[in-house]
Structure 1
Amino acid sequence: MNFSLSGRESFLLNKIGRVADSLNLEAYLIGGFVRDKILGRPTKDADVVCIGDGIAFAEAVAREFNPVPKVNVFKTFGTAQIKLPDIELEFVGARKESYRSESRKPDVEPGTIENDQDRRDFTINAMAISLNAQSFGELVDPFNGIAHLQQKLIKTPLEPGITFSDDPLRMMRAIRFASQLQFQIHEETFEAITREKERIRIVSMERITDELNKIILSKKPSIGFDLLYRSGLLQIIFPQMADLAGAENVEGMGHKDNFYHTIQVLDNISVHTKNLWLRWAAILHDIGKPATKRFEQGTGFTFHGHETVGGRMVPKIFKHFKLPLGEEMRYVKKLVELHLRPISVTKANITDSAIRRLLFDAGADFDDLMTLCEADITSKNINKVRRFLSNFEAVRTRCIELEKSDHLRDWQPPIKGEEIMQMFNLEPSRVVGDLKTALKDAILDGIIPNEYNAAYNFIMEESKKYGLTKVD
């Protein structure tokens, strides 16, 4: 085989092979570990298949270590897992599978290594390497996985329609591997995805989202989203994003294809961050455009308020994909709602007040917001791109200058609502909210400095409008 093992990997695999020989079992490395080793990608886990009882085999392997590691057994799936400090080992007995149309959970029975390779999703994941001493390192590759790795090709071992109908999640996995590895999907395999796309409806949203997030986190996620759209899967699992697709021209005035613009923004931002939620913000930044699209005579197409509409869509989309609805969702919602603001403050004669409000509203996420705005520049006009980037750099400079003097990131007013209530013996009420808002606006508009004494004096003066008297 044309790949190298580290000393630790060689030690572990030889140990597993010796245990297999002692039990008179055939044992093989199979799947992702083999693929990634050949590709030179880092590996964190390894799947071991044996012709026999995988759980008993795992327990026997564990006894060869000192101290003996815990064996996590999953009887429902007939698998066992050993977590070592540097690698996770998963053991399973070779099996063959049959499926019912209403479920992606197969009926399983013991099988041969050939049966086990038949059930694998793609040829590049069906390669096996013998661990037994007599044949250690020999490759078992019945479906030309090595050749397909060299050709950068995703192909199913068996007839693709059957493969995807049996387990529809494999359609998402095909696209995910194409995106992660930047491989092509074999023509017949892709045609089968388009035919079987409706089968994705029987897959749980948690599993779909897991694959989608892996696509989003790939080096060039636009590959995956383009394939999802062209296959028709996107229209089923994420119709709001599919609705962005298409350009329109009326009376010689048109708008860009917002779907392909969005995945270009996603690629742009992926160069700068591995933050999943910042990448989600890139995906959703224009999600409100279809609902706000209008054609105005003499102006062309407009999308007024799409950032506000998009912000309102974020919680629903997160709930649909069963993504976290707490801090992560609020972060994405904020960036979607604010993504046009830095553009507005690039205009001439913008006030310090507008800059302060941008800093205040963005808070600790200001740098991420600017990263999103810069990624949003997808023009092919180099001079236009340079102009926008220069303008954004000027915004950053002005924000840094004001931040040094006003300290508005993660800003809290010098006087909070609780203190206002104590000052005037008030219960929670609209008056308290009005005083807090007036204080915030006074600081952001530069009327008073962001200091306690100035804030106290302002509240005392403002309270007179409401006939309030300070309690001593």
Structure 2
Amino acid sequence: MDINCTEKELFILKKIAHSAEELGMDTYLIGGFVRDKILKRPTKDADIVCVGDAIHLAKSVAKRFMPEPKVSFFKTFGTAHIRLQKHKLSESSKALPSGKDSEGAFDIEFVGARKESYKYHSRNPAVKPGSLEDDQNRRDFTINALAISLNKNDYGKLLDPFNGVKDIGKKIIRTPLDPLQTFSDDPLRMMRAVRFSSQLNFKIEEKTWQAIKDNAYRITIVSQERITDELNKIIASPKPSVGFDLL
């Protein structure tokens, strides 16, 4: 494994990997969990992307825990979620090691790899199935496009097509693709850039920042609820002044 995980996390990831192998489905750990592990930040949830039916994978994974957790799914979007509590992190023949490592809940989101396309007046994309590469391309920032393989042939390998690890080392926020298009497609990403800058004490890369300024007027297509959610996360960050200075 190219990142350091706790015993609890490895226990969970192995179960996901076993289900994915049984289903013949390429599957990856992606996004914030990978980023935060590299930053040595605490983790309490994980995003899983698979090349196939994410709901099917989630149901298969749930069956590997006792008692079986509920699978919440959204058929329209092809996504699913399970929450693992302390008492669910054991098998009849093998219990998870006790102690702080087994405390609290762990949330897992499952999504099928996909391509997205946007209409100018909406941030809700048209979605169709895609590859891991397609899914990494649609991510908001390079630091969130990092993936770890859960596949048998290269289990634990870090997949970093946009040099996200280097950007973490440089403490910069940068989009994987053209920032003008990235923010025009989904203007909420501009708020997310500011929020990550505030949470992580990272600097927004120059071209990315210019694209935010050029697309600032597009924030009007984002709902007030989503904007407020990002503002609340900025307020809760270690240095909210960083975010509000950028705003």
TM-score (norm 1): 0.48
| 2:240 equivalent in structure 1 | 221
Tell me the amino acid that sits aligned with residue 212 of structure 1: L
Give the whole-Å Cα distance in 2 for the aligned partners of 1:77 and 1:182: 33
Task: Give the conservation status (yes or no) of the 8 Å contact 1:148–1:154.
Answer: yes
Deviation at 1:95, TM superposition (A): 0.2
User: Which of residues 103, 113, 117 is equivalent to 2:122?
Assistant: 103
Q: Can you list the C-alpha shifts for 1:242-295, whole angstroms capped at 9, x where unaligned?
A: xxxxxxxxxxxxxxxxxxxxxxxxxxxxxxxxxxxxxxxxxxxxxxxxxxxxxx
Give the whole-Å Cα distance in 2 for the aligned partners of 1:101 and 1:75: 25
Q: Secondary structure at the match of 1:226?
A: helix
| 2:194 equivalent in structure 1 | 175
User: Which of residues 184, 189, 203 is equivalent to 1:184?
Assistant: 203
Task: Give the conservation status (yes or no) of the 8 Å contact 2:143–2:173.
Answer: yes
Q: How does 1:117-196 map to 2 (within 5 A)?
A: 117-196=136-215
Q: How does 1:41-80 map to 2 (within 5 A)?
A: 41-80=41-80
Q: How does 1:320-469 map to 2 (within 5 A)?
A: none
* Structure 1: runs of 5+ lacking an equivalent: 229-472
Task: Give the conservation status (yes or no) of the 8 Å contact 1:3–1:40.
Answer: no
Tell me the amino acid that sits aligned with residue 130 of structure 2: G
Determine whether 1:37 maps to 2:56: no
Give the whole-Å Cα distance in 1 for the aligned partners of 2:64 and 2:70: 12
Q: Secondary structure at the match of 1:88?
A: strand
Give the whole-Å Cα distance in 1 for the aligned partners of 2:191 and 2:56: 33
Task: Give the conservation status (yes or no) of the 8 Å contact 2:28–2:50.
Answer: yes
| 2:21 equivalent in structure 1 | 21
Determine whether 1:94 maps to 2:94: no
Deviation at 1:67, TM superposition (A): 1.3
Q: Secondary structure at the match of 2:55?
A: helix
| 2:96 equivalent in structure 1 | none
Q: Can you list the C-alpha shifts for 1:352-391, whole angstroms capped at 9, x where unaligned?
A: xxxxxxxxxxxxxxxxxxxxxxxxxxxxxxxxxxxxxxxx
Q: Secondary structure at the match of 1:92?
A: strand
| 1:235 equivalent in structure 2 | none
Give the whole-Å Cα distance in 2 for the aligned partners of 1:30 and 1:4: 15
| Length, aligned pairs only | 228
Higher helix share: 1
Deviation at 1:2, TM superposition (A): 5.3
Task: Give the conservation status (yes or no) of the 8 Å contact 1:121–1:156.
Answer: yes
Deviation at 1:76, TM superposition (A): 2.5
Q: Secondary structure at the match of 1:42?
A: coil
Deviation at 1:134, TM superposition (A): 2.1
Deviation at 1:3, TM superposition (A): 3.3
Deviation at 1:195, TM superposition (A): 0.2
Deviation at 1:68, TM superposition (A): 1.1
Give the whole-Å Cα distance in 2 for the aligned partners of 1:183 and 1:219: 12
| 2:9 equivalent in structure 1 | 9
Give the whole-Å Cα distance in 1 for the aligned partners of 2:234 and 2:10: 31
Give the whole-Å Cα distance in 1 for the aligned partners of 2:3 and 2:144: 16
- Which structure would you say has the larger Rg? 1
Q: How does 1:249-268 map to 2 (within 5 A)?
A: none
Give the whole-Å Cα distance in 1 for the aligned partners of 2:113 and 2:196: 24
Give the whole-Å Cα distance in 1 for the aligned partners of 2:49 and 2:170: 27
Task: Give the conservation status (yes or no) of the 8 Å contact 2:2–2:158.
Answer: no
Q: Can you list the C-alpha shifts for 1:411-453, whole angstroms capped at 9, x where unaligned?
A: xxxxxxxxxxxxxxxxxxxxxxxxxxxxxxxxxxxxxxxxxxx
Task: Give the conservation status (yes or no) of the 8 Å contact 1:30–1:128.
Answer: yes
Give the whole-Å Cα distance in 2 for the aligned partners of 1:29 and 1:168: 25
Q: Secondary structure at the match of 2:181?
A: helix
Q: Secondary structure at the match of 1:212?
A: helix
Give the whole-Å Cα distance in 2 for the aligned partners of 1:44 and 1:198: 35
Tell me the amino acid that sits aligned with residue 159 of structure 2: V
Deviation at 1:75, TM superposition (A): 1.7
Bigger relative contact order, structure 1 or 2 (CA pairs below 8 A, ≥6 apart): 2
Task: Detail structure 1 runs of 4+ shifted over 6 Å in the superposition.
Answer: none
User: Which of residues 127, 132, 136 is equivalent to 1:113?
Assistant: 132
Give the whole-Å Cα distance in 1 for the aligned partners of 2:138 and 2:3: 25
Q: CA RMSD in A?
A: 0.9
Task: Give the conservation status (yes or no) of the 8 Å contact 1:96–1:119.
Answer: yes
Tell me the amino acid that sits aligned with residue 210 of structure 1: D
Give the whole-Å Cα distance in 1 for the aligned partners of 2:78 and 2:187: 22
Q: Can you list the C-alpha shifts for 1:148-200, whole angstroms capped at 9, x where unaligned?
A: 00000000000000000000000000000000000000000000000000000
Q: Can you list the C-alpha shifts for 1:48-100, whole angstroms capped at 9, x where unaligned?
A: 00000001110111111121110001123210000111200010100000000
Give the whole-Å Cα distance in 1 for the aligned partners of 2:20 and 2:10: 15
